[in-house]
Amino acid sequence: MSEIDTGSVFAIMPATIAIELLDDAIDLLLRRNDNRKCRIVEVDIKTARLARDIRNKFTRKTRDAIKQLELPDCIYVATAIHYECEALVTRDGEGNRRHNLLNVANEVRREYGIKILHPMEACPPPPPPDQPILPHTVDTHEEDRSG
């Protein structure tokens, strides 16, 4: 969340994110909710219907079970679409679940035009410091040749 703190990223999050966060993280998020760096939004009926449609679209029936995105994930995608966000940043996919947001990122982008990115894709770490810069040598005869 340091990118939110520095203002290089503006975050929009549905209030339902509180379901998945620990109390300390919720408190930190509420302190950032200042409409300059972050905004926590309510899930209205339009977003809820879109979340339902997303869940239905990404439901897969297999021999053993029905695989579908979890409802909170669908709400995150629907919120990002509703608020015309450039991308949805998530770690959903780092665990063992096979049906998660990062696994359906390409399909979601094709269908809804929203990118789903891992934090390292959205805000990659800065490159390592450059090698020390050697003093620049100026060719004093360059002007003589051009004139």
Q: How far is CA 51 from CA 5, 47, 57, 109, 113, in A?
A: 28, 6, 10, 15, 15
For 112-133, the pLDDT digits (tens) are: 999 988 887 877 666 666 655 4
Assigned fold of 2-126: Rossmann fold (3.40.50)
- Per-residue pLDDT, 118: 83
User: What average pLDDT does the structure give for the chain?
Assistant: 76
Whole-model pTM? Answer: 0.70
What are 88-117's pLDDT values in tens digits?
888 777 666 666 788 888 888 999 999 988
Burial 49-68 (b: 16+ CB within 10 A, else e): ebbeebbeebeeeeeeeeeb
In the block, which residue shows the tokens 């990062």? 102
Domain ranges of the chain: 2-126
pLDDT of residue 128: 65
Residues 6+ apart with CB under 8 A from 111: 57
